[in-house]
Amino acid sequence: MNPSLPSKFETNAQHVIVECPICQKEFYKSNAISPSIKNHMRCHVDHNRFCCVKKGCEYITKSSERFKEHLLRHKSVRPFVCKIPKCNFKAIHRSALIQHRLTHTQEKPFECDLCDYKAKTSTHLKLHRRIHDTIRPFPCKRCSKSFTQKCNLENHKKVHKKARKKP
């Protein structure tokens, strides 16, 4: 025990272990009072909050349903199972299973309102929509081209590498 610190604090190498005086959950921080413990203490004051007590986890929510789902992560429990034969997919969240089911079908329920593109997920549709925008946030540093997605820029960079290798 480091005598220069209050009794609820211990030093561990370069880190300080801060212990919650109510539930004894430990937090690690390189300075004495971490923002984590301040946030955690709200659990004890605001009874509408649900706080994970697992060591190293700082999850806090106001939703009891989300809290129950969160606890499953620590138990490695995945209650949502794909019923397709020979598919071993299991998920913590129902929404992940719903999205996974689309991998077994050709269904593409998300449609672009500017062209004929259809996507399996809303995320893929959002990425596609960038091609209709004038915003191209990924410019090439070697030429004047710019791209809507980082992966397209990375593919484009290969063109410059091939040009350098030619004799």
130 inside domain: no
Task: Give domain status of residue 46, yes or no.
Answer: yes
pTM (2 decimals)? 0.41
Distance CA 149, CA 137 (A): 8
Say which DSSP state 15 is in.
E
The answer for residues whose C-beta is within 8 angstroms of residue 79's C-beta and 6 or more apart is 72, 90, 92
pLDDT digits 0-9 by tens, 8-31: 444 444 556 667 776 777 766 655
Q: Does some domain include residue 142?
A: no
Residue 52 structural domain: 9-62
Percent of the chain with pLDDT over 70: 72
The pLDDT assigned to 135 comes to: 80
**Nearest Cα residue to 24 out of 3, 47, 44:** 44
Both tokens assigned to 2 = 């480091």
Q: Assess if residue 20 is contained within a domain.
A: yes
- Tens of pLDDT along 99-128? 888 889 888 989 999 999 999 888 889 888
Q: Is residue 44 part of a domain?
A: yes
Residue 57 lies in a domain: yes
Tokens linked to 166: 């030619």
Query: How many independent structural domains does the chain possess?
Result: 1
Residue 108 lies in a domain: no
Q: What is the pLDDT of residue 11?
A: 42
